[in-house]
């Protein structure tokens, strides 16, 4: 079983019931209620179906119900494995091609759907949706929150790392999983807030009614006056040969498996993209006991926070800049990936190619907003606002503020007398700002008293160290006058409490003090299992991952508040101010094959995953037929699959550019009326008579 039994941050849920089920005739075991995809991954199954067009194997991509890669037969019916919970005795089978239609039934005794009424419907229970719902509930408005997951929090539920930003305003220094619990508990405390969890919104209607697939089992209607669309974002696919093999999937899907469901889905991964999502993906992999061959980034610099990149490099994961994926190959699954450096035109220099033996490739090259409901609502003339990633892809701390601001803006549109705190908009702009200047720091000289040493040199929105220090020893520089300023020692009197070391999201603070002779004591953060005993000798690293020396461990302590180990070492005076890291992964984990092994056929990259239409097919079709309307691509089946063109639509601009057409001249594709597939039988089976109210609290 590929289960994570021990994790440095997340404890396995208590009271889970193990049940038996069958897959292709073999009996397997999983936990009741977990998603089928996770139960199968835990049993080593990553291939869920074969495509009807050419028999190509299919696996997960988004693990979020947004694509159709993970379709599987469940008791004879096709279902998405990533959003279908496991029940005892289920008979699962690989879906070979198109599913057969079920046998005719006697018919269903249809009942009218249950109906709820709300002043405001909030679509999505992530940080922006929760922030919006809480503000609206505070105003006394009747709010219904509909989210497609059983636990509210959106991507927060997947985040085991500590967040940047402001401690006072957006829980900086707190892990995403804990922020989700805090926000969910606060919303649940309002009697005027109704929570429909595990209940995706599937359609909007012109009479101000939304159709909701409540509990994944019945159809419910919610009438509303105002609408907050906080539906988040979906994984963005990219082009390279082999991009559709089982084992190539989004970083969010990976986080779902390892952090939410505690499933170890890989042995060795390659990560594409050095934004914060990719960098954090490497961190999550290492915590789950998975090797990371490296991170490849097309641009010549790390795309996320430098402090994130620095700590990942210190853990033993190289970041290869100006590098791209050439191809991913394997017999029905990912077995190797080839990368190469790029030239000024961003095209691969094949003479620099390197091949890695990996079983997983994580795509972390951006997200696409799920804003379709907002666009539809505006076309209907509804009072509607959009928030979070559905509005603009940014950090969760920014999304939380965005939800609050959007909620009050909607309340004002709806005639409520509300005053918006002018500082909120400014804080939100800071929280979503790109990294600023890099400031050179002078090397600290250890003294007899404890002194913090700061290894962050890039201006980003982050201030926990200055707010958690009980002695007030740390202040921000004041250069910008906001939370992006770098921290510095304000005065003496540090007591060595290590609060700043434990709270720092970037693991970028140490404490140093001089001992007798040429020695110093250094306190370092560590967020992995720490089985080391005093007297052990561990190799210490500098900020850039360079080896310093093997140092004796003097002692260790665990911060329950921040779930971080503090390790204290005896270090030479020369290296003490430089020490900040402990290697987690051995160099052998990042080695490539002695010589590259790949084939490069860029036209074979799949654009439309549902219908398996390749990049080359689409470019030729556009050229030969003078296509200027995305809807015309449907004549060769592109965009006609179950995902409703959610995945391929983001790649179409690249198709048109390759065909010599300016994407700005192309007519956009039509939106599908339903966001999620709903079985007709479930629509027919209502939960109650029209006019009834209720919901899960």
pLDDT per residue as tens digits for the range 222-259: 999 999 999 999 989 999 999 999 999 999 999 999 99
pTM given for the model: 0.93
- For residue 107, being part of any structural domain is answered with no
pLDDT at 32 over 60: yes
**Angle separating helix axes 396-413 and 422-431, nearest 10 degrees:** 150
Indicate the residue among 333, 363, 393 that finishes a domain. 363
Q: DSSP 3-state assignment of 66?
A: coil
d(CA 609, CA 647): 8
- Give residue 689's pLDDT: 37
Q: State the maximum Cα–Cα separation within the chain, in Å, rounded to a whole number.
A: 89
Q: How many CA atoms lie within 13 Å of 21's alpha carbon, on the beta-carbon side?
A: 27
Contact 592, 581 (CB under 8 A): no
Backbone dihedral region of 626: left (phi > 0), alpha (psi from -120 to 50 degrees) or beta? left
- Give residue 107's pLDDT: 67
- Give the burial class of 189: count Cβ atoms within 10 A of its Cβ; 0-12 exposed, 13-18 middle, 19 or more buried: exposed
- Give residue 108's pLDDT: 64
CB atoms within 10 A of CB 467: 18
- Compute the C-alpha angle 554/560/564, nearest 5°: 55
57 and 95 inside one domain: yes
Of 62, 212, 208, which Cα lies nearest the Cα of 125? 212
130 and 217 inside one domain: yes
Q: DSSP 3-state assignment of 519?
A: strand
Label residue 685 by pLDDT band (50, 70, 90): low
- For residue 7, being part of any structural domain is answered with no
Label residue 531 by pLDDT band (50, 70, 90): very high
What phi, psi does 94 have (nearest 5°)? -60, 130
Strand partners, 553: 569
Please count the structural domains in the chain.
Answer: 4
- pLDDT of 115-161, one tens digit each? 999 999 999 999 999 999 999 999 999 999 999 999 999 999 999 99
- For residue 276, being part of any structural domain is answered with yes
634 and 575 inside one domain: no
- Give residue 246's pLDDT: 96
pLDDT at 693 over 70: no
- pLDDT of 64-77, one tens digit each? 888 888 999 999 98
Label residue 420 by pLDDT band (50, 70, 90): confident
194 and 224 inside one domain: yes
Backbone dihedral region of 113: left (phi > 0), alpha (psi from -120 to 50 degrees) or beta? beta
CB contact set of 61 (below 8 Å; sequence gap of 6+)? 67, 69, 70, 235, 237, 248, 249, 250, 253, 609, 647
Contact 240, 326 (CB under 8 A): yes
- For residue 676, being part of any structural domain is answered with no
pLDDT at 694 over 90: no
Q: What sign has the CA pseudo-torsion 189, 190, 191, 195?
A: negative
pLDDT at 696 over 60: no
357 and 466 inside one domain: no
Strand partners, 555: 568
159 and 195 inside one domain: yes
Lowest-pLDDT choice from 199-203, 257-261, 301-305, 602-606 = 602-606
CATH of the domain at 323: 3.50.50.60
Label residue 688 by pLDDT band (50, 70, 90): very low
228 and 250 inside one domain: no
256 and 342 inside one domain: yes
pLDDT at 697 over 50: no
534 and 555 inside one domain: yes
Indicate the residue among 347, 363, 379 that finishes a domain. 363
- pLDDT of 464-496, one tens digit each? 999 999 999 999 999 999 999 999 999 888 999
pLDDT at 26 over 80: yes
585 and 498 inside one domain: yes
DSSP H stretches of helix in 266-395:
276-287, 306-314, 372-380
Q: 651 lies in which domain range? A: 605-665
pLDDT at 185 over 90: yes
- For residue 257, being part of any structural domain is answered with yes
pLDDT at 189 over 60: yes
What phi, psi does 124 have (nearest 5°)? 110, 130
d(CA 66, CA 200): 11
Q: What sign has the CA pseudo-torsion 297, 299, 302, 304?
A: negative
- For residue 105, being part of any structural domain is answered with no
Contact 85, 163 (CB under 8 A): no
93 and 173 inside one domain: no
Average pLDDT over residues 323-327: 97
Contact 196, 123 (CB under 8 A): no
Of 468, 447, 466, 467, which Cα lies nearest the Cα of 511? 447
d(CA 187, CA 120): 14
d(CA 591, CA 58): 28
- For residue 389, being part of any structural domain is answered with yes
One-character DSSP codes across 633-691:
GGGGTTT-STTTTTTGGGTHHHHHHHTT--GGGSBPPPPPS-SS---HHHHHS-SS-TT
275 and 338 inside one domain: yes
- For residue 223, being part of any structural domain is answered with yes
d(CA 152, CA 193): 13
For the chain, percent of residues with pLDDT exceeding 70: 97
Indicate the residue among 564, 590, 616 that finishes a domain. 590
Lowest-pLDDT choice from 18-27, 345-354, 370-379, 688-697 = 688-697
- pLDDT of 600-647, one tens digit each? 778 889 999 999 999 999 999 999 999 999 999 999 999 998 888 888
């Amino acid at each position: 079983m590929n289960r994570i039994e021990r994790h440095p941050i997340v404890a396995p849920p208590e009271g889970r019931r193990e049940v038996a089920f069958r897959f292709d005739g073999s009996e397997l075991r999983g936990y009741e209620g977990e998603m089928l995809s996770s139960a199968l991954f835990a049993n080593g199954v990553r291939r869920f179906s074969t495509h009807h067009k050419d028999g190509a194997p299919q696996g997960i991509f988004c693990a979020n119900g947004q694509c159709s890669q993970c379709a599987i037969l469940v008791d004879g019916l096709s279902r998405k494995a990533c959003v279908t919970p496991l029940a005892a005795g289920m008979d699962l089978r690989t879906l070979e091609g198109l599913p057969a239609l079920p046998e005719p039934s006697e018919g269903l005794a249809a009942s009218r759907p249950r109906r709820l009424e709300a002043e405001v419907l909030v679509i999505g229970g992530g940080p922006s949706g929760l922030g919006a719902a809480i503000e609206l509930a505070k105003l006394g408005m009747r709010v219904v929150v509909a989210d497609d997951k059983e636990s509210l929090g959106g991507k927060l539920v997947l985040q085991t790392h500590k967040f940047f930003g402001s401690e006072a305003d957006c829980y900086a220094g707190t892990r995403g999983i804990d922020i989700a619990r805090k926000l969910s508990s606060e919303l649940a405390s309002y009697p005027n807030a109704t929570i429909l969890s595990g209940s995706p919104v599937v359609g909007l209607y012109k009479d101000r009614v939304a159709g909701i697939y409540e509990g994944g089992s019945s159809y419910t209607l919610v009438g509303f006056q105002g609408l907050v669309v906080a539906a988040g974002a979906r994984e963005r696919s990219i082009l390279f040969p082999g991009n559709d093999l089982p084992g190539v999937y989004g970083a969010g899907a990976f986080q779902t498996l390892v952090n939410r469901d505690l499933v170890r889905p890989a042995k060795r991964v390659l990560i594409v993209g050095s934004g914060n999502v990719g960098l954090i993906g490497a961190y999550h992999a290492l915590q789950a006991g998975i090797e990371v061959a490296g991170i490849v980034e097309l641009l010549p610099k790390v795309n996320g926070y430098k402090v994130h990149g620095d700590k990942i490099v210190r853990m033993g994961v190289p970041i290869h800049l100006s590098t791209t994926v050439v191809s991913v190959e394997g017999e029905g699954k990912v077995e190797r990936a080839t990368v190469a450096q790029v030239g000024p035109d961003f095209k691969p220099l094949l003479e620099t190619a390197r091949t890695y033996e990996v079983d997983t490739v994580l795509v972390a090259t951006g997200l696409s907003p799920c804003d379709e409901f907002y666009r539809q609502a505006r076309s209907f003339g509804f009072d509607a606002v959009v928030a979070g990633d559905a509005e603009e892809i940014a950090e969760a701390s920014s999304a939380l503020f965005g939800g609050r601001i959007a909620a009050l803006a909607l309340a004002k549109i709806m005639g409520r007398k509300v005053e918006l705190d002018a500082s909120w908009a400014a804080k939100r702009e800071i929280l979503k700002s790109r990294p600023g200047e890099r400031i050179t720091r002078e090397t600290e000289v250890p003294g007899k008293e404890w002194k913090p040493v700061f290894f962050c040199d890039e201006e980003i929105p982050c201030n926990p160290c200055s707010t958690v220090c009980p002695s007030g020893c740390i202040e921000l520089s004041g250069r910008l006058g906001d939370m992006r300023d770098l921290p510095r020692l304000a005065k003496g009197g540090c007591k060595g409490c290590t609060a700043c070391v434990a709270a720092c999201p970037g693991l970028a603070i140490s404490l140093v003090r001089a001992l007798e002779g040429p020695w110093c004591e250094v306190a370092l953060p560590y967020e992995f299992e720490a089985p080391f005993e005093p007297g052990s000798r561990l190799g210490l690293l500098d900020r850039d991952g360079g080896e310093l020396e093997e140092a004796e461990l003097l002692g260790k302590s665990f911060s329950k508040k921040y779930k971080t180990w503090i390790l204290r070492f005896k270090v030479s005076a020369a290296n003490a101010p430089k020490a900040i890291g402990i290697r987690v992964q051995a160099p052998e984990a990042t080695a490539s094959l002695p010589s590259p092994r790949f084939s490069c056929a860029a036209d074979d990259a799949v654009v439309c995953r549902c219908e398996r239409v390749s990049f080359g097919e689409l470019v030729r079709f556009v050229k030969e037929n003078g296509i200027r309307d995305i809807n015309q691509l449907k004549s060769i089946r592109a965009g006609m699959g179950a995902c409703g063109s959610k995945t391929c639509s983001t790649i179409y601009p690249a198709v048109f550019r390759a065909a010599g057409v300016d994407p700005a001249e192309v007519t956009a594709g039509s939106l599908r009326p339903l966001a999620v597939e709903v079985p007709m039988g479930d629509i027919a089976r209502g939960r109650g008579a029209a006019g009834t109210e209720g919901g899960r609290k």
